[in-house]
């Protein structure tokens, strides 16, 4: 059991009770973990690709075997409905299985040049620092750990202080799967000390970060000192554009999941719903009806489709967006204990409204009318962010034209689905740098080496 000074108290957001006490560390603990990852690197990168592949497959299978335990832990710690938690642990298992196929496919090129043979190799970077948020704890960690290890790197992961529990379980699973000690290390502790040590320690070859744009900016600046590689997956304020010719019933039925899913604590939340003026009233009515079906309650109750927010601070921050707002609909939520907040629909006058500009990270949707395609695109792109978004229309040419014009990394047409293990995911503009998932992620965990041999 950790002592009082180094214990981190983990709270269950649905009832505000203590869920666990875990040992946390400071910068010196981060330095030790980096030392372990650095020491383990030469042997890990030398493991034959086929064997690395088998080890990652085993980790995937172990996650699946433990799926129910991990899902209950994630549901209680992050306050998410148990069905959602199960799906996320499934994504973590899928991510390990997907990248288990990578070690034997890290192909290089041969390049025609005069007087010899020129070729490229994809080399691992070394010991890598991973820093993750609390909204999808194990899933987002897996998107980084699996490709990093597949490429032959070793890893130190710092999970969010609010949700460290599934990462600690994963550390045990990885060892049980046969991956050698020191290859994957978890350090629990504050961002300012443990996180910043990972970013500034010269032995760390790269930082892969998911979190807020504010912290991402600081990490980018600190990493620049040592020209450390960084990938940043940051905030969003994504738009769903709904044209009058769309299947409005389908668009409205899908909208609550896209903005209230994970309680709105989702970087891909379509929190700005832009609707063509002639369809505005009808869409708003249908969206209200669909939202009324949401059941906010205990994450472990199978009837609940939405849980609490992550913390009291998050509830306070989300609540501030209701000051002076035009509320078109508000659902109900338990009164407490627990950090509850009901799904809420606002109809701000324009995209200049604070609720329509800033990332709320809570269950508040803004529905705003537009006149024509050009105005919809102007509104959608009028933001510092560019993570995801949707286009709803029956006109295929317009759908593709709009998708090409939207300044966003991850778009869907007649759907709100953003994240697939097989597809690249990431942001334009201040939503980030680099891509996760799909084959592209491997580019960010390897360095290209060119070798010329005179013949
Ligand atoms: P956060 O930025 O507050 O924290 C994220 C992580 O960074 C935590 O582990 C935290 O301890 C650490 N950290 C904080 N300060 C640090 C510092 N100075 N140096 C190093 N590490 C530090 O974010 P959050 O509140 O946990 O998560 C919510 C944010 O994450 C939202 O903005 C959301 O949009 C974003 N997010 C983005 C994606 C994406 O893929 N683009 C996915 C999920 C969440």
Determine how many CB atoms are found less than 10 A away from the CB of residue 282: 14
Query: Which ligand 1 atom sits closest to the C-alpha of 213?
Result: 32
Q: Which of 265, 336, 314 is nearest to 14 (CA)?
A: 336
Q: Which of 388, 421, 436 is nearest to 91 (CA)?
A: 421
pLDDT tens digits, the chain, 455 residues: what are they? Answer: 444 458 999 999 999 999 999 999 999 999 999 999 999 999 999 999 999 999 999 999 999 999 999 999 999 999 999 999 999 999 999 999 999 999 999 999 999 999 999 999 999 999 999 999 999 999 999 999 999 999 999 999 999 999 999 999 999 999 999 999 999 999 999 999 999 999 999 999 999 999 999 999 999 999 999 999 999 999 999 999 999 999 999 999 999 999 999 999 999 999 999 999 999 999 999 999 999 999 999 999 999 999 999 999 999 999 999 999 999 999 999 998 999 999 999 999 888 999 999 999 999 999 999 999 999 999 999 999 999 999 999 999 999 999 999 999 999 999 999 999 999 999 999 999 999 999 999 999 999 999 999 99
Distances (CA, A) of 423 to 100, 373, 432, 434, 442: 16, 27, 16, 13, 12
Same fold, 3-234+430-454 and 239-420: no
C-alpha–C-alpha distance, residues 310 and 328, integer Å: 25
List strand residue ranges (DSSP E) for 277-383, in order.
Answer: 327-330, 344-346, 364-370
DSSP state of 388: E
SS3 state of residue 149: helix
CB-based contacts of 317, cutoff 8 Å, min separation 6: 360, 361, 362
SS3 state of residue 369: strand
pLDDT at 5: 59
Q: Active site includes 233?
A: yes
The fold of 3-234+430-454 is Aldehyde Dehydrogenase; Chain A, domain 1 (3.40.605)
CB-based contacts of 261, cutoff 8 Å, min separation 6: 84, 269
Q: Which of 450, 392, 95, 296 is nearest to 403 (CA)?
A: 392
Determine contact, residues 105/56, Cβ cutoff 8 Å. Answer: no
What's the token pair of residue 10? 């983990």
Count Cα atoms within 13 angstroms, Cβ side, for 447: 13
CATH 3.90.1170.30 for the 239-420 domain, yes or no: no
Smallest CA separation from ligand 1 atom 42, residue: 267
What's the token pair of residue 259? 């903005």
C-alpha–C-alpha distance, residues 40 and 38, integer Å: 6
Query: Which ligand 1 atom sits closest to the C-alpha of 427?
Result: 41
Tally: H helices and E strands in the chain: 15, 18
What's the token pair of residue 376? 């919809």
Mutate to test the pocket of ligand 1, among 159, 212, 316, 419 (most ligand atoms within 8 A of CB): 212
pLDDT at 2: 44
Query: Which ligand 1 atom sits closest to the C-alpha of 198?
Result: 20
CB-based contacts of 193, cutoff 8 Å, min separation 6: 26, 27, 30
Q: Active site includes 373?
A: no
β-pairing, 154-158 with 127-131?
parallel
SS3 state of residue 32: helix
CA of 213 to the centre of ligand 1 (A): 8
Query: Which ligand 1 atom sits closest to the C-alpha of 314?
Result: 25
CB-based contacts of 395, cutoff 8 Å, min separation 6: 243, 245
Smallest CA separation from ligand 1 atom 26, residue: 133
Torsion (CA) 61, 66, 72, 77 in degrees, nearest 10: -70
DSSP state of 40: H
Q: What are phi and psi of 288, to 5 degrees?
A: -60, -45
C-alpha–C-alpha distance, residues 386 and 380, integer Å: 9
C-alpha–C-alpha distance, residues 134 and 313, integer Å: 14
List, chain by chain if needed, residues with CB within 6 Å of any ligand 1 atom.
131-135, 140, 158, 160-161, 191-192, 195-196, 199, 210-212, 215, 218-219, 233-236, 267, 359, 361, 387, 427, 431-432
SS3 state of residue 300: coil
Determine contact, residues 27/199, Cβ cutoff 8 Å. Answer: no
Distances (CA, A) of 130 to 47, 68, 212, 213, 246: 22, 25, 14, 16, 41
Determine contact, residues 347/328, Cβ cutoff 8 Å. Answer: yes
C-alpha–C-alpha distance, residues 392 and 398, integer Å: 10
233, 276, 359, 436: the catalytic one is 233
Determine contact, residues 265/354, Cβ cutoff 8 Å. Answer: no
12, 74, 267, 436: the catalytic one is 267
pLDDT at 3: 45
DSSP string, 251-282: HHHHHHHHHHGGGG--TT---EEEEEGGGHHH
pTM recorded for the entire structure: 0.97
Q: Where are the domains of the chain?
A: 3-234+430-454, 239-420
CA 213-127-145 angle, to 5 degrees, is 60
Determine contact, residues 284/256, Cβ cutoff 8 Å. Answer: no
Distances (CA, A) of 397 to 247, 298, 392, 400, 404: 16, 44, 12, 5, 11
């Amino acid at each position: 059991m950790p002592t009082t000074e180094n214990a981190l108290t983990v709270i269950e957001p649905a009832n505000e009770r203590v869920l666990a006490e875990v040992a946390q560390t400071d910068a010196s603990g981060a330095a030790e973990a980096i030392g372990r990852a650095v020491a383990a690197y030469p042997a890990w990168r030398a493991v034959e690709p086929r064997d690395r592949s088998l080890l990652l497959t085993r980790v995937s299978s172990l996650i699946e075997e433990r799926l129910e335990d991990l899902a209950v832990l994630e549901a209680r710690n992050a306050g998410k409905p148990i069905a959602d938690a199960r799906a996320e642990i499934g994504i973590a298992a899928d991510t390990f299985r997907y990248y288990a196929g990578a070690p034997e496919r890290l192909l290089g090129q041969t390049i025609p040049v005069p007087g010899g043979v020129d070729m490229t190799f994809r080399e691992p970077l070394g010991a890598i620092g991973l820093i993750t948020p609390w909204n999808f704890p194990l899933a987002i960690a897996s998107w980084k750990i699996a490709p990093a290890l597949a490429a032959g790197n070793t890893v130190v992961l710092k999970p969010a202080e609010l949700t460290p529990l599934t990462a600690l379980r994963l550390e045990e699973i990885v060892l049980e799967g046969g991956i050698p000690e020191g290859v994957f290390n978890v350090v629990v502790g504050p961002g300012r000390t443990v996180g910043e040590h990972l970013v500034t320690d010269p032995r760390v070859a790269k930082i892969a970060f998911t979190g807020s744009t504010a912290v991402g900016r600081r990490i980018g600046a600190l990493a620049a000192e040592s020209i450390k590689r960084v990938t940043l997956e940051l905030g969003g304020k994504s738009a769903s554009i709904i044209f009058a010719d769309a299947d409005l019933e389908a668009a409205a039925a899908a909208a609550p999941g896209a903005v209230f899913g994970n309680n709105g604590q989702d970087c891909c939340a379509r929190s700005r719903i832009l609707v063509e003026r002639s369809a505005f009233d009808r869409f708003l009515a249908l969206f209200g009806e669909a939202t009324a079906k949401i059941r906010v309650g205990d994450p472990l109750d199978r009837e609940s489709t939405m849980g609490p927010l992550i913390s009291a601070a998050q509830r306070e921050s989300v609540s501030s967006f209701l000051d002076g707002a035009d509320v078109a609909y508000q659902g109900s939520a338990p009164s407490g204990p627990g950090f509850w907040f009901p799904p809420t629909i606002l109809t701000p006058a324009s995209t200049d409204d604070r609720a329509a500009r800033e990332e709320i990270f809570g269950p508040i949707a803004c529905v705003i009318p537009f006149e024509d395609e050009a105005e919809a695109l102007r509104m959608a792109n009028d933001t510092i962010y560019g993570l995801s978004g949707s286009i709803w229309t029956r006109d295929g040419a317009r759908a593709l034209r709009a998708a090409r014009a939207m300044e966003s990394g991850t778009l869907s047409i007649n759907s709100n689905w953003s994240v697939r293990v097989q597809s690249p995911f990431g942001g334009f503009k201040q939503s980030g740098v680099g891509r996760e998932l799909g084959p592209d992620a491997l580019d960010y965990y390897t360095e290209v080496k060119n070798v010329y041999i005179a013949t």
